[in-house]
Structure formats: structure tokens, C-alpha cells
Chain A
Amino acid sequence: SQTIHQWPATLVQPVGSPLSLECTVEGTSNPNLYWYRQAAGRGLQLLFYSVGIGQISSEVPQNLSASRPQDRQFILSSKKLLLSDSGFYLCAWSDRANTEAFFGQGTRLTVV
């Protein structure tokens, strides 16, 4: 069966520090991968998606970047965090049939 791992679960970082959140998927090949951000416990905003290794598309301009160094690994990064980067970050995957997406448990990021 397929599983998705996302870590860390919580993170407190000072303004201006770098960020690296990692997500890995097991039990599938060539997944579509996504990073979402959820602010204030509500709506989800799509940040990045990837349909293959090295292929990253950004949905909104921001202080963040994403990379996909391996087929089932998706990384969210920032060189210098802003206060506004605080939120709940969710990684998700879907298969090539492109129906439902499956989510990781999320990372609560607080920038102080």
C-alpha cells in the first residue's frame, strides 16, 4: 500500500532563517506531488506541483521554492523565512489516473 511521510511535524524558526521540509511517498511510482499551505486552519492554497523529477510548477509567487530530486521525494525550501510564511504545510500525492490526492500529516511552521 502507498504511504506518504512528511516531516518535521512542528517547527519554530526565526525570521531570516532557512527552511527545508521533506516529503516522501512509498509504494507508488511517478506520482504527481503537491505542496499546499493552510493558513488559520482554513482553506488550502496550492503552492507547488510536480509531475516528474526536476519538474516544478509554482502556483503563486512567494518566498518559497520546491525541488524534486528523486521520483518520490518532494522538498519545500526557503533561503530566508518571513513572518508571513507561518502556517500549516501539507504535502500530497496522486497517481497517474489523477483522481483523489492523499495527504501527509502536515508540518506546523511558526516563524518568530
Chain B
Amino acid sequence: AQSVAQPEDQVNVAEGNPLTVKCTYSVSGNPYLFWYVQYPNRGLQFLLKYITGDNLVKGSYGFEAEFNKSQTSFHLKKPSALVSDSALYFCAVRGPSNSNSGYALNFGKGTSLLVTP
């Protein structure tokens, strides 16, 4: 089964410092990986995805993620954190290609990011 794991419940970082939110994946075949952000009582917003190509993927709001096949990781990064980046972050993997799940995304449990001034 396709799955992702987010080992950290919460990440704290000071404004202006780099941030990393970790994600590891377990898939059969080529992984389709995604990052989403959720603000309180709102839907999920798409940040970026890895399908194929360059291992470093750039996305919205200055975020990027690095696909590492040998470590089966897809960590989310940002060079300089903002207070407004404080939110819940979800890593996701697309369901298997045999359409049994309609290509639904399987999500990690989420990591709460707190950026302090």
C-alpha cells in the first residue's frame, strides 16, 4: 500500500531561520508525492508535487521539497521562515495506479509548524 509518514507532530522554528518538515514514503512503483498546508478551519492548499524529473521541487510561498529516492524521503523546506507560515502541513502520496482508490491521496498525520517572532 502507498503510505507516507510524518515523524514530527510539531516543528518550532524562529522567524528568519530555515525550516524543514520531514516526510518519508512507502510505495510500490514510482512515487507521486505532494505537500499541502492547512490553516485553522480551512481546507487544504496545494503547495507542490513531485512526479518525475528534478529532485528539488519548487512550490508556492517559497517552499521547496527534495525527493530522495535512496532515503525514501520528501522533506519540505524553506530557507527563511515567516510567522505567517505557522500552520498544519501534510505530506501525501497518490494511491496505486490500478484505480482501486480513484487515485485518491493518502495523507500523513500532519505536522504543526510554529514560527516564532
Seen from chain A, the residues whose Cβ lies within 8 Å of a Cβ on chain B are 6, 32, 34, 41-44, 46, 49-51, 57, 59, 88, 90, 92, 94, 98-106, 108
Contacts and interface: CB of A to CB of B under 8 A. Distances in A.
A46 B104 contact: yes
Given A32-B103, A44-B44, 10 more contacts: A42-B88, A43-B107, A43-B109, A49-B101, A49-B104, A51-B102, A57-B102, A100-B34, A100-B49, A101-B104
B90 interface: yes
B99 A99 contact: no
User: Is chain A's binding surface mostly helix, strand, loop or mixed?
Assistant: strand
Given A103-B43, A106-B41, A50 B102 contact: yes
Contacts of A92: 44, 105
B49 to A, nearest CB: 5
Interface string B56-100: 000000000000000000000000000000001010001000010
Interface residues of B, number: 25
Contacts of B44: 44, 90, 92, 103
Nearest to B102: A49
Q: Pick the 3 closest A-B CB pairs, nearest first.
A: A49-B102, A103-B43, A98-B103
B103 to A, nearest CB: 4
B43 A99 contact: no
A108 B42 CA distance: 10
Given A51-B99, A99-B32, A100-B34, A34 B104 contact: yes
B31 interface: no
